[in-house]
Amino acid sequence: MAKSIRKFRPSKPHPDFPLFPHATGRWAKKVRGKLHYFGPWDDSDGALNRWLDTKDDLLAGRTPRRNREGLAVKELSNRYLHAKRGRVETGELTEVTWTGYRITCQHILKFFGTSRFVEDLRPEDFEQYRTYLSKTNGLVGIRNQVRNARMVFSYAFKAGLIDRPVIFGPEFTAPTARALRKARTPRMFEASQIRQMLEHADATMRAMVLLGVNAAFGNSDVTRLPLNAINLNAGWITYRGQRRVRGEGCRCGRRQPNHCGRPYQFRQSRPIPILRAWYSGREPVAAGISRALDT
């Protein structure tokens, strides 16, 4: 009967080598409680390369792909952002919109990893991604991130980068309109609160507050208001805002609101008090209102 000879285990090629010599004569590593083997002892370089190729999948609890050719999430993100950047240069998209796409791609890369293949993504992955988003976003933020993420992954199929569309599953959807309405807090201020804002605001902020209260301007409306929309001689501001279906004008004449002293809501249907703004050159230097909030 032949005697068994115990193999001499080699030492690691270098101290930070991630694998250990297993008794079976192979380099191995335990990941998530399970042993994985990466090749014989005499091929430490090949074992290390195989570990690096499958590292992300194993650490995430996924079965490594046999064919390592595919569209990586990082490549998709770069292509999508590059394509949308062209729309910004032609004026079809704003810089703010493109920045939102970039933030979405950063979230995608942080969660899925840069080397994850788009073809490997399954509905359960998107369910987990939505849960990840809910930890740092409200309902509106979840809606925006889900919408943008679906656009990114849908672009992969539409651009011919993958052979089949990405299946998101039934759970990777934006919050319903009912849920958004329920979570929305009333955007209103008492007249006394508005007076206090105006008292402590500088010229620029004062103009913003008055435009919001008196002309139903939102943040985007204020930042994009062009100088040619303001006619001080005629006393009108004519501007097509973000949420208006057709061009609207607000009179800069002397008019008192019908509901002074009651809560002001940022709604277009509210009465429009007097609004006066002065410009020097192309920069606003002051803004005021003639007793529009008097009770």
The domain limits of the chain are: 20-59, 73-183, 188-288
Phi, psi dihedral angles at 50 (to 5 degrees): -65, -35
In angstroms, what is the C-alpha Rg of the chain? 30
**pLDDT for the residue 65:** 61
Reported as a single tens digit per residue, the pLDDT across 100-151 is 999 999 999 999 988 888 988 999 999 999 999 999 999 999 999 999 999 9
Residue 283 in tokens? 């920069």
pTM for the model: 0.51
Tokens representing 281 are 């050159």
User: Is residue 118 within 8 Å of 153, Cβ to Cβ?
Assistant: yes
pLDDT reading at 288 higher than 70: no
Residues 35 and 42 sit within 8 Å (Cβ to Cβ): no
CATH number attached to the domain at 73-183: 1.10.150
- Mean of pLDDT over the chain: 76
Summarize pLDDT for 226-245 with one digit per residue, the tens: 888 777 777 677 776 554 43
Picking from 174, 64, 75, 166, the residue whose alpha carbon sits closest to that of residue 123 is: 166
To the nearest 10 degrees (0 to 180), the angle between helices 95-112 and 123-134 is 110
Q: Where are the alpha helices (DSSP H) in 139-230?
A: 139-158, 177-183, 191-200, 203-215, 219-224
- Given this model, what pLDDT does residue 7 score? 60
